Amino acid sequence: MGRDHRSRGNSRIEAAALAAFRQDVIAGLSLPQKALPPKHFYDAAGSRLFERICRLAEYYPTRTELAITRAQAGAIARFAGRGGVLMEYGSGESLKTRLLLRAMQPSVYMPVDISEAALRLAVAKLRRAFPGLRIAPVAGDFSRPLDLPRFRGRDRRVVYFPGSTIGNLTPQEAQAFLRMTRGQVGPRGAMLVGVDLKKDANVLHAAYNDSRGVTASFNLNLLSRINRELGGDFDLRRFAHYAFYNAPLGRIEMHLVSLRAQRVNVGDHRFAFDRGETIHTENSYKYSVEEFQALAAESGFRGEKVWSDRRGLFSVHGLIAD
Ligand SMILES: C[S@@+](CC[C@H](N)C(=O)[O-])C[C@H]1O[C@@H](n2cnc3c(N)ncnc32)[C@H](O)[C@@H]1O
């Protein structure tokens, strides 16, 4: 499997990833509003929990985006072109991608994900399902510069970014990300982005507070990961999942609430929590079609196509490099 810094040994890369995780945790827990970047949810256990979330009745985004992609696969392939290089950021289990791979028949598929365990599993399954397809996986963090394989030829490059992962970035980060991908796809390139739409706050609330508590387990797994990998002593019974729609900012916020005043150690560092104090663990921004197209336009893309469901829950945007 390809990695950024591919010439170095695996253990050195893992040590660097662990050091980056430690640095983010120590810095994030030292902030006045404690906060951790959502990319750290995705160790092997976190990726498995996310896949369970995708199958929950309340979690409409995955099944809606899947249905849109299935219904529009032909139109999406006509827009994106056949036979080019398809790069996917945050590919996870590459579920919706299968529909695109069939419709677009790219010459190369390059999935990029921070969760090496999820990527490895997804690629093994894809190799069985698409034996003739050239797959060039990259385990890495798309919020940092990545050393990606280069492909010769004049094939069109298309970046796929489904699953509303763009909503986990602030609008400023999303713009920077789109500018980066604009540079990668080049003048004839395109992008397909799955964007969750603004809607009734009750529907959003149910999606992030499922009745089976899977989203709560996903959120709390971040603390288990800190315990496992960084020598933390978080007591998971003393924290609770909390998610709500922040309407003025147009985002779901996910937090972990301290259920009592307590102190927690992470390695040599000690952090104090008041009762009710939270760690902000994720944002999921929701956009109107117009808001997202305006964001794309400021990043060098023209919003050319939008595919959506009848209820207006979710959108898939076809962007062309301007
Ligand atoms: C919301 S999930 C979406 C998964 C899948 N694309 C889908 O549509 O269901 C986010 C995915 O992006 C990956 N991810 C999150 N932050 C990342 C980062 N900074 N770099 C690379 N991958 C990241 C996670 O491991 C996860 O697979």
Query: pLDDT digit string (tens) for 36-81?
Result: 999 999 999 999 999 999 999 999 999 999 999 999 999 999 999 9
Distance CA 216, CA 209 (A): 7
Residue 286 has phi, psi (to 5 degrees) of: -110, 140
Question: 115 CB less than 6 Å from ligand 1?
Answer: yes
Mean pLDDT of 74-90: 97
Pairs from 232-236 (Cβ < 8 Å, separation ≥ 24): 232/264, 232/265, 232/266, 232/267, 233/264, 233/265, 233/266, 234/264, 235/262
Higher pLDDT, 154 or 194: 194
pLDDT value of position 7: 46
pLDDT range class, residue 3, cuts 50, 70, 90? low
User: Ligand 1, atom 16: nearest CA belongs to which residue?
Assistant: 39
Q: Would residue 259 be called left, alpha or beta, if left means φ above 0 and alpha means ψ between -120 and 50 degrees? A: alpha
Cβ-Cβ contacts under 8 Å for 214 (sequence gap 6 or more): 49, 52, 53, 56
pLDDT range class, residue 155, cuts 50, 70, 90? confident
Query: pLDDT digit string (tens) for 255-311?
Result: 999 999 999 999 999 999 999 999 999 999 999 999 999 999 999 999 999 999 999
Residue 140 has phi, psi (to 5 degrees) of: -175, 175
Mean pLDDT of 205-228: 98
CA of 141 to the centre of ligand 1 (A): 10
Question: 141 CB less than 6 Å from ligand 1?
Answer: yes
Angle of helix 171-185 relative to helix 289-297, nearest 10 degrees? 60
| Alpha carbon of residue 72 to chain centroid | 22
CA of 262 to the centre of ligand 1 (A): 32
Residue of 257, 256, 253, 243 whose CA lies nearest to 206: 243
pLDDT value of position 6: 47
* Position in ligand 1 atom list of the atom nearest CA 165: 1
pLDDT value of position 5: 40
Query: pLDDT digit string (tens) for 93-117?
Result: 999 999 999 999 999 999 999 999 9
CA of 233 to the centre of ligand 1 (A): 27
- Return the exposure string of 218-235: e unless at least 16 CB atoms fall within 10 Å of the residue's CB, then b: bbbbbbbbbbeebebebe
Question: 160 CB less than 6 Å from ligand 1?
Answer: no
CB-count exposure of residue 20 (10 Å: 0-12, 13-18, 19+): middle
* Opening angle at CA 246, ends 243 and 247, nearest 5: 140
CA of 144 to the centre of ligand 1 (A): 14
DSSP 28: H
User: Ligand 1, atom 15: nearest CA belongs to which residue?
Assistant: 39
The answer to whether the beta carbons of residues 82 and 104 sit under 8 Å apart is yes
